[in-house]
Amino acid sequence: MHVSRRSETMPESPIRKLVPYADEAKKRGIKIYHLNIGQPDIKTPECALEAIRKVDRKILEYSPSQGYLGLRKRMAEYYRKFNVKVSEDEIIVTTGGSEAISMTLNTCLDNGDEMIVTEPSYANYISLAAQNGVAIRAVKTHIEDGFKLPPVERFEDLITERTKAILLCNPNNPTGYVYSTEEMNILRDMAKKHDLFLIVDEVYREFTYTGVPYFSSLRLKGVDENVIVIDSVSKRFSECGIRIGAIVTRNKDVRAGIMKQCQARLSPPLLGQIAAEASYDAPREYMQDVYDEYIARRDFLIEGLNKIPGVFTPMPMGAFYTMVRLPVDNAEKFCKWCLTDFSYKGATVMMAPGSGFYSDHTIGNDEVRMAYVLRREDLARALVVLAKALEAYNSR
């Protein structure tokens, strides 16, 4: 008996593939500074925690396949803060953002169809594309210019008769780049010209540090049928574990196709929806404090990284990640070595190897992704440990 070829060719997550080595290091008593995963240490809003504590049900029943109406209404109200007008019927609640992406790909692309992404890209896009039989066509962005959007010609050179969509993360994971209104309009025009879906992952829209109000793709003119937004409360409210995401689109046919999949998987998480709906009662001060904390962490980490000899990272303008170039022969080998063979004063660092954020894994071999989701005190210690690790690794 053999497992499927699809299973064999699906890539491992660069964010999680080194976890067994981290577990072994912890068993040896090593303190690990987790820069590899976007798991915030920010406290979940108290109103969400209280809503879970107050659950008093005799039965934890199925919810509607589209998600609870109350949650969808709160989400529609929330989008209005970004000058986006959508109805609750144009929102489908999913089991996290990952299910939202998978359902969207399954609905909009057939097996063997192609999707254009900018790279480096969120590693799970590559995995979910493989899972759904979708071929990735990559437009490479570069660390030297901060991963800005390449000329439109680079995209159009990749378009074939099998190209059905463009997938974008804005603000971007893993680079932290924020696509401007002008850049989004360029992509709008291309999607309209070539009749492509424009799928935009807007999970990090609260965390934009450009000084300019965030421009949602749902505000693009003339492409209501093309635009599909992926959303999640995981990072917005530090609720990764409740697994509540959403698909937002004005395209009725897309919603109808996605609803068939929603019915097949029955319903999104009951308790997660209760917590998510309550989270929209979080006071403005909560979101402002979180925003200010991420800016402070970003500034601290970027300055510290660029002081280490041979290390370079641009200033990310959104989300809470940065791609970092390291002076090593192979970043994945270095990341593994940090967990298996190195510690400094009983501590080491865990990072996500950069090659896993490219569909061509020969690219990004001197890069890692880091998430600034730790307290500044921990980031300071992690920077010291990283500098010592680089020094030891390159002097072997």
Taking only the tens place, the pLDDT of each residue in 194-211 is 999 999 999 999 999 999
Q: Over the stretch 57-110, which tens digit does the pLDDT of each residue have?
A: 999 999 999 999 999 999 999 999 999 999 999 999 999 999 999 999 999 999
Which residue, 255, 279, 303, sits at the end of a domain? 279
Which one-letter DSSP state was computed for residue 369? E
> What are the two backbone dihedrals, phi and then psi, of residue 166, each rounded to the nearest 5 degrees?
-115, 130
Structure token pair of residue 379: 């980031």
How far is residue 390's CA from residue 386's CA, in Å, rounded to a whole number?
6
**Same domain for 86 and 232?**
yes
**Band of the pLDDT at 21, cuts 50, 70, 90?**
very high
Could you tell me the CATH number of the domain that includes residue 61? 3.40.640.10
Residue 307, helix vs strand vs coil: helix
Q: What mean pLDDT comes out for the span 159-175?
A: 98
Strand extents, DSSP E, 161-213:
163-169, 197-201
Question: What's this model's pTM, rounded to 2 decimal places?
Answer: 0.96
Which residue, 279, 301, 324, sits at the end of a domain? 279
Cis status of the peptide bond prior to 327, with omega within 30 of 0: no
**Same domain for 241 and 327?**
no
Q: Over the stretch 97-149, which tens digit does the pLDDT of each residue have?
A: 999 999 999 999 999 999 999 999 999 999 999 999 999 999 999 999 999 99
* C-alpha distances out from residue 113 to 36, 70, 179, 197, 346, Å: 31, 36, 26, 12, 49
* Res 7: pLDDT: 77
**Same domain for 202 and 350?**
no
Give how many domains the chain has, as a whole number. Answer: 2
- Widest Cα–Cα separation across the chain: 63
**Nearby residues of 256 by Cβ (< 8 Å), 6 or more positions away:** none
Structure token pair of residue 300: 């601290």
**Band of the pLDDT at 394, cuts 50, 70, 90?**
very high
How deeply is 134 buried, as exposed, middle or buried, from its count of CB atoms within 10 A (0-12, 13-18, 19+)? Answer: buried
The parent domain of residue 98 ranges over 46-279
**Same domain for 99 and 241?**
yes
Tell the residue number behind the tokens 């939202």, with chain if given: 100
**Same domain for 13 and 149?**
no
**Same domain for 36 and 173?**
no
Which one-letter DSSP state was computed for residue 177? -
**Same domain for 270 and 133?**
yes
**Same domain for 259 and 332?**
no
Which residue, 264, 279, 294, sits at the end of a domain? 279
Q: What is the total residue count of the chain?
A: 396
